[in-house]
């Protein structure tokens, strides 16, 4: 099961686009659970995650992208993970930062 976290903030056009894209993801096909985390509703989650730029898309604990993302690229990535290829587009997050 893939865990997808989308970090957003209010009054952010790119965040609105990201939410609309993530809502079209076929989670049954990619075996994914999606969680949308709003800085306005849950500031503690942002503080704990080390995410400071929005939108931020995190997949299985690894930063996938900041800003706009391509849904096709996310689907390919998830399909690779589901097939056991372990490819990753992003950096593994450790501690309180999003990686180097």
Provide the b/e sequence for 83-92 (b: ≥16 CB within 10 Å): eeeeeebbee
What 8-state DSSP symbol labels residue 96? T
Domain span at residue 67? 2-92
- The domain tally of the chain equals 1
* Residue of 9, 11, 7, 12 whose CA lies nearest to 22: 7
Q: Does any domain span residue 100?
A: no
100 has a pLDDT exceeding 80: no
Q: What is the DSSP letter of 44?
A: H
Contact 49, 19 (CB under 8 A): no
Question: pLDDT tens digits for 51-92?
Answer: 989 999 999 999 999 999 999 999 888 888 766 544 444 444
Nearest partner of 56 among 47, 48, 65, judged by Cα: 65
- Residue 87's pLDDT is 41
CATH of the domain at 60: 3.40.30.10
């Amino acid at each position: 099961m893939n865990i997808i976290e989308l970090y957003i903030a209010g009054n952010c056009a790119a965040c609105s686009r990201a939410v609309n894209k993530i809502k079209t993801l076929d989670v049954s096909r990619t075996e994914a659970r999606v969680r949308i985390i709003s800085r306005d509703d849950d500031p503690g989650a942002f503080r704990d995650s080390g995410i400071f730029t929005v939108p931020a898309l995190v997949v299985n604990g690894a930063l996938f992208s900041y800003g706009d993302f391509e849904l096709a690229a996310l689907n390919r990535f998830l399909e690779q993970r589901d097939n056991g290829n372990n490819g990753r587009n992003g950096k593994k997050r450790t501690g309180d930062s999003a990686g180097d």
